[in-house]
């Protein structure tokens, strides 16, 4: 497509919700067309729910179709800053029931104020971050916008996070598409790296349903995307120099790849 004039070196992805289906939910993007798209759709972010009471009716369908075509999936959940963190995260995890959380990377969508103070918004976010880390072993990605974060969150109180940042051009008059914004995005004060850049909110819809779709770019290579999802090249076992078979020891000497520290007695040899 001639639309793609920028960001060609960054892996490409889309994000979806029920708004990418028809109003009656009877038609949605054809993922066989998504799979054939150029540039390749390597990752798909899908809205799971909102706060503690809303479940996106297209999440399961989009999840199933995204995994079928081999795309990496990032379920995202929209936070209400004035609602209890535990109640919201229980709802998020209930929506994800049956999904192996090691195969996806979770996202918190943080962009609503609801008349809450900066401290309240920060505390709710911190609570959600800690709850998801307890459940998954890692902090979720945080989606937002730099200027919003600067105004509404005490960034210094947050742990080190992976950021998905929206930064795109203003909408053009309907039905014109808005071009992708060139990477990198504007970053919040105190943040010096980004993971995903939402580069367009009214880009051409992929899959034959609707007019517009959100586009995103991954800060890295396809290989780094694989590694982030834990699907990089596995570590090859060390081969015994005597019989050529895989060595049963857990550590591998530095000449190949160092996995575990050598025991003290081995270091003294």
For residue 241, the model assigns a pLDDT of: 63
For residue 231, the model assigns a pLDDT of: 87
Interatomic CA distance for residues 170 and 175, integer angstroms: 14
pLDDT over threshold 50, residue 258 = no
Going by pLDDT thresholds of 50, 70 and 90, the confidence category of residue 2 is confident
In this prediction, residues 216-230 reach a mean pLDDT of 97
Q: Please list, residue by residue across 37-64, b when 16 or more beta carbons sit within 10 angstroms of its beta carbon and e when fewer do.
A: eeebbbbbbbbbbbbbeeebebbebbbe
Which superfamily, per CATH, for 12-228? Answer: Glycosidases (3.20.20.80)
For residue 233, the model assigns a pLDDT of: 55
For residue 142, the model assigns a pLDDT of: 98
User: Tell me: the pLDDT tens digits for 15-49?
Assistant: 999 999 999 999 999 999 999 999 999 999 999 99
For residue 244, the model assigns a pLDDT of: 67
Interatomic CA distance for residues 204 and 123, integer angstroms: 37
In this prediction, residues 200-228 reach a mean pLDDT of 97
User: Tell me: the pLDDT tens digits for 101-153?
Assistant: 999 999 999 999 999 999 999 999 999 999 999 999 999 999 999 999 999 99
For residue 92, the model assigns a pLDDT of: 98
pLDDT over threshold 80, residue 54 = yes
For residue 239, the model assigns a pLDDT of: 57
**Domain map of the chain by residue range?**
12-228, 236-269
pLDDT > 70 in the chain, percent: 86
């Amino acid at each position: 497509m001639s639309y793609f004039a920028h960001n060609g070196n960054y892996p490409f992805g889309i994000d979806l919700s029920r708004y990418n289906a028809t109003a009656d939910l009877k038609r949605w993007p054809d993922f066989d067309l998504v799979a054939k798209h150029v540039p390749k759709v390597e990752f798909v972010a899908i809205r799971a729910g909102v706060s503690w009471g809303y479940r996106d009716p297209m999440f399961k369908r989009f999840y199933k179709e995204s995994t079928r075509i081999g795309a990496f999936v990032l379920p995202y959940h929209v936070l209400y800053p004035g609602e209890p963190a535990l109640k919201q995260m229980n709802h998020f995890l209930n929506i994800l029931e049956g999904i192996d959380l090691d195969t996806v990377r979770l996202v918190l969508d943080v962009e609503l104020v609801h008349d809450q103070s900066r401290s309240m918004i920060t505390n709710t976010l911190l609570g959600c971050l800690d709850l998801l880390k307890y459940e998954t072993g890692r902090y979720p990605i945080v989606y937002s916008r730099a200027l919003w974060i600067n105004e509404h969150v005490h960034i210094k109180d947050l742990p080190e996070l992976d950021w998905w940042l929206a930064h795109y051009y203003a909408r053009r008059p309907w039905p014109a598409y808005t071009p992708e914004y060139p990477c990198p995005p504007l970053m919040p004060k105190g943040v010096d790296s980004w993971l995903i850049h939402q580069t367009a909110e009214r880009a051409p819809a992929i899959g034959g349903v609707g007019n517009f779709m959100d586009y995103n770019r991954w800060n890295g290579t396809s290989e780094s995307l694989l590694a982030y999802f834990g699907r990089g090249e596995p570590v090859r076992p060390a081969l015994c120099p005597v019989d050529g078979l895989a060595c049963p020891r857990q550590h591998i000497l530095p000449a190949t790849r160092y996995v575990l520290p050598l025991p003290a007695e081995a270091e003294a040899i």
